[in-house]
């Protein structure tokens, strides 16, 4: 029957696609031509094969594990475009919380980390997994919440604000706090504020009541969640600003030394994992701290959101609490 023949033809076609895929799994999406946009099912399948066979070497890949805030704001995508213009490389960006990113790094599954949790970064570096950390940008955390502010925390220090939420929530059903609850850098920061407010996070805070919600999602999703519940949450200012138009939440606490948020990039130590792409990793990090990129980071989002989402680290190492070398010195080859 004709239909049977069609079926066989389809089967052969799929096999062909599969075989192309075997030779070109890396090349079919990594080559600039294939990532270009004219992709329809047929042409992509057709072009994947010749490329896979004619180009001897695949274009270089650089795997970057990043905190969600750098990705959700669109900054990383903008930087990626600028970097790929001048380098024969495809960046593969895996957005995960800082905790997961560090785990990927520790297992040697990525080449570069872009994270924001100084304490855990220090441990990571001390254990020999990370090298050549550079501070690339900073901004501040803020506690955001509904404009009605049922717990009345506006203008408090972050520690007092969390204490007030903790004390009013059991008697006021409108007071809800949504935590990232995912071991991300933001979650770490939240824990450290609880600690400096005098609470034992695991004993006093985690699972304390219905008002303390562990959302378990990225920054953007957590803000959306908090918005639905009219709840408080801790956010970095960059993600908050980039989501602001869709949110009814307002910043209530945005001043306090503990709210500093420093973003760093670092390489995975090639002595730990000899296959990591350290040359391109170094180029990427050095690209991030050039004056041109720094200026771009400091201006990113101004035209859309009216203010920068991140501040440049260039010239701000004292504010960030890091050494001048860590902010400005390119990594030597």
Partner 1 sequence: MTLNPEVYEIAFRSIYITFTATLIASVISIPLALYLAFHDFRGKTSIVNLIHTLYALPTVLIGLLVFLMLSRQGPLGFLGLLFTPAGMIIGQVILVIPILVGLTYSAVTSLDPIVKDTIISLGADYMQFLVSILREVRFVIYAAIAMAFGRAISEVGAAIIIGGNIKGFTRILTTAISLETSMGNIELSMALGIILLFIALIVNFVMTSIRRGD
> Where on the chain is the footprint of partner 1 (CB under 8 A)?
1-4, 6-7, 10-11, 14-15, 17-18, 21, 25-26, 29-30, 35, 37-41, 44-45, 63, 72, 77, 90, 92-96, 107-109, 217-218, 220-221, 224, 243, 246, 273, 275
- Rounded to a whole number of angstroms, the minimum distance from the CB of residue 31 to partner 1 is 11
| Residue in 160, 148, 117, 118 with CA at minimum distance from that of residue 253 | 160
Task: Enter the tokens of residue 172.
Answer: 């006021």
Output the smallest distance, CB 236 to partner 1, in A: 15
Cα atoms in the Cβ-side hemisphere of radius 13 Å centred on 40: 2
Of 233, 260, 236, 265, which Cα lies nearest the Cα of 249?
A: 233
The residues, ordered by sequence, that sit 6+ positions from 32 with a Cβ below 8 Å of its Cβ are 59
Tokens of 250: 């307002």
Q: Which two tokens stand for residue 150?
A: 């049922």
Secondary structure of residue 306 in the 3-state scheme:
coil
**Smaller CB distance to partner 1: residue 86 or 275?**
275
**CB 66, min distance to partner 1, A:** 11
Largest separation between any pair of C-alpha atoms in the chain: 78
Residues 6+ apart with CB under 8 A from 297: 75, 79, 136, 137, 288, 310, 311, 312
Percent helix, percent strand, percent coil in the chain, to nearest 5: 50, 20, 30
Least distance in angstroms from the C-beta of 80 to partner 1: 9
Kindly tell me which of 14 and 295 has the beta carbon lying closer to partner 1.
14
């Amino acid at each position: 029957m004709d239909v049977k023949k069609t079926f066989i033809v389809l089967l052969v076609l799929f096999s062909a696609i599969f075989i192309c895929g075997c030779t070109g799994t890396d090349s079919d999406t990594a080559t600039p031509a294939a990532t270009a946009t004219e992709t329809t099912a047929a042409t992509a399948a057709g072009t994947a094969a010749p490329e896979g066979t004619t180009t001897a070497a695949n274009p270089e890949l650089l795997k970057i594990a990043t905190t969600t805030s750098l990705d959700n704001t669109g900054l990383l995508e903008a930087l990626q475009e600028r970097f790929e213009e001048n380098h024969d490389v495809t960046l593969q960006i895996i957005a995960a919380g800082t905790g997961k990113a560090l785990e990927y790094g520790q297992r040697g599954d990525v080449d570069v980390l872009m994270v924001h949790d100084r304490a855990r970064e220090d441990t990571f570096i001390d254990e020999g997994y990370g090298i050549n950390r550079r501070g690339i940008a900073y901004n501040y955390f803020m506690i955001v919440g509904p404009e009605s502010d049922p717990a009345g925390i506006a203008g408090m220090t972050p520690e007092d604000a969390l204490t007030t939420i903790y004390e009013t929530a059991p008697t006021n059903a409108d007071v809800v706090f949504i935590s990232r609850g995912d071991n991300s850098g933001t979650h770490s920061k939240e824990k450290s504020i609880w600690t400096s407010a005098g609470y034992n996070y695991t004993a006093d805070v985690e699972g304390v009541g219905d008002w303390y919600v562990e959302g378990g999602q990225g920054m953007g999703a957590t803000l959306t969640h908090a918005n639905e519940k009219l709840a408080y949450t801790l956010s970095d200012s960059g993600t908050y600003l980039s989501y602001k138009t869709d949110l009814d939440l307002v910043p209530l606490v945005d001043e306090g030394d503990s709210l500093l948020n420093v973003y760093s990039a670092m390489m995975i130590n090639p002595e730990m994992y000899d296959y990591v792409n350290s040359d391109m990793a170094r180029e990427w990090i050095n690209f991030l701290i050039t004056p041109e990129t720094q200026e771009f980071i400091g201006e990113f989002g101004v035209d859309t959101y009216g203010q920068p989402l991140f501040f440049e680290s260039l010239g701000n190492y004292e504010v960030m609490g890091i050494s001048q070398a860590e902010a400005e010195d390119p990594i030597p080859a």
